[in-house]
Chains A and B, each alone.
Chain A
Amino acid sequence: MSNYFNPEFETLTREQIEALQLERLQKTVRHCMNNEFYRKKFAEAGITPDDIKTLADVRKIPFTTKQDLRDTYPFGMSCVPLRDCVRLHSSSGTTGNPTVILHTKKDLDEWANQVARNLWMVGLRPDDVFQNSSGYGMFTGGLGFQYGAEKLGMLTVPAAAGNSLRQIKFIKDFGTTAIHAVPSYVTRLYEVMKEEGVDPRRDTKLKVLAIGAEPHSEEQRKRIEDMMGVKAYNSFGMSEMCGPGVGFECPEQNGLHFWEDYYIVEIVDPDTLEPVPDGEIGELVLTTLCREAMPLLRYRTRDLTRVLGRTCPCGRNHIRLDRMKGRSDDMMVLRGVNIFPIQIEKILMQFSELANNYLITLTTDEENDNMTVEVELAQSTDDYAKLQALEKEIRRRLKDEILLTPIVKLVPLGTLPVSEGKAVRVEDKRKVYQ
């Protein structure tokens, strides 16, 4: 069997990739003119699709932002009639309107193809058993990997996240050879395996882990590989592009290949928005080349990374990017969930018992990433039960908002640091950033 799932696209030369990109960009831009938002943007920028003559002309196109997606909620960015769409994924929309991403049948198939290509790249074949221990529902890591693994032809187990004992039973009973999960969940699975006396090397057929949707360091990856005794490959996805599949590591584990037959990859300075040289960190900007329902032109991902190379011993000349180095906005990614400080603030400010000062701390405790929210109590009280009830209520309301349960600590008035000017609200002490 071939080393490649799509040999005709994966092994293109740089020249061939760029020629294909130009052709697809021109087609995408023309397709975007079916949509009022893009027509207006192009008119404002004084350009027409005919101005895209070379690949470098992509820089004439205005950027698209998450705010644009919110402003056009729910279907304002669609370039096809709604009846041609078969799926939508949406963010939780807690910082304003949600962002909605529409898919046609062909979009879903192309998405599955990217995921299948990735899984094939790291050695998975139709006789493998793939367990997707990722959240399903709106979170694209669920259905994205499901469709991709099925397209490759694997027996695919939609185990979803949680219930570690059942996960381990499946791994053993079904002969699972590959798992997809957020890195902190793999660690959790290993802890439970240890408690249950299960040795992943001896008692399972595991050979590949796909980990992503949560920032993690090279050290964390190595630790996970040591624990489980298998290779762990970094996966990059974002729902705006489709979901997982956009970028993935090859067996060289030297950066993520971003599929340039599907995307134009730019790295820009987040302040000047000018391109940065290869090797320098900047913001990842992606243009979709194959999307029907919702093509996105020069979408600012807010993820910071850098170009590692454009060739690879694996034979794929698709651009290699470093693991994500952080964000150019204040979004936090915790256990696969995107959280903005403003969401926390919005909830805290609903409690009259609380003062305005708060501090969010992200930590790695025994391999699990946690969030602690410290907030100042505006008034004192003589009643413990009230304090405990208040903490509990804050925890509950925050969980409704951010889908994770943070640790809530009430602190006396005037005890949190107040910095000059813009208050520091987030301290990220997780291992990945140290």
Chain B
Amino acid sequence: MTIHQLSIFIENRSGTLIKVLDALKEANIQLIATTIADTAEYGILRIVCAEPMRACEELKKAGIAVAISDVFALQLDNKPGSAADVIKLFSLAGISITYIYTFLLRGKGILVFRTDNTDLAKKTIEENQLPYIAEADLTDWA
């Protein structure tokens, strides 16, 4: 029900991002979505990519600390209000969204998010039969 996301702690300084991207390029890893959340001092670079476990190994080999986390990735209908309808289900269940971002996969909107209650979030997805993507979907596409 979840996909693997890479989280890389980086400094807010010129050259730090390219170090990570170069390492992925060297390893021939296809990026699918990235986002950076920043503070004054540092940021967390979050990456959804093909072959996340191999990407993780390659980054470690390049001396870059990386964390693997499980995040939800729901497929949305391409129409106004679809994100609101989905998020509302979690909100009604009393679940907080920690962060959220979106990307397009085969023309479909994908909503990536993390919550403060993984078990309850899974239950919500099951009960509402929300369409989610699996890791294989990412690798096939790449």
A382–B67 touching, CB < 8 Å: yes
A382: which B residues are within 8 A, CB to CB?
5, 7, 44, 46, 67, 69, 114
A414–B11 touching, CB < 8 Å: no
A412–B66 touching, CB < 8 Å: no
Residue B139 at the chain A interface, CB threshold 8 Å? no
Chain B stretch 67-111: residues in CB contact (< 8 A) with chain A = 67, 69, 98
Contacts A411-B11, A412-B11, A415-B11 hold; do A380 and B66 have CB atoms under 8 A apart? yes
B37: which A residues are within 8 A, CB to CB?
384
Residue B33 at the chain A interface, CB threshold 8 Å? no
Interface residue SS majority, chain A: loop
B11–A377 touching, CB < 8 Å: no
Distance from A408 Cβ to chain B, minimum over Cβ atoms (Å): 10
Interface residue SS majority, chain B: strand
Number of interface residues of A (CB under 8 A): 16
B7–A411 touching, CB < 8 Å: no
Residue B8 at the chain A interface, CB threshold 8 Å? yes
Number of interface residues of B (CB under 8 A): 21
A381–B9 touching, CB < 8 Å: yes
Taking a contact as CB atoms closer than 8 A, the residue among B5, B7, B65 that contacts A413 in the complex is: B65
A412–B65 touching, CB < 8 Å: yes
B41–A377 touching, CB < 8 Å: no
A410–B65 touching, CB < 8 Å: no
Distance from B91 Cβ to chain A, minimum over Cβ atoms (Å): 20
A380–B65 touching, CB < 8 Å: yes
Residue A12 at the chain B interface, CB threshold 8 Å? no
Interface of A toward B, CB cutoff 8 Å: 377-384, 387, 409-415
Could you jot down 17 A-B contacts, CB within 8 Å? A377-B9, A378-B65, A380-B9, A380-B67, A381-B7, A381-B44, A382-B5, A382-B7, A384-B39, A409-B41, A410-B41, A411-B42, A412-B10, A412-B16, A412-B65, A413-B63, A415-B16
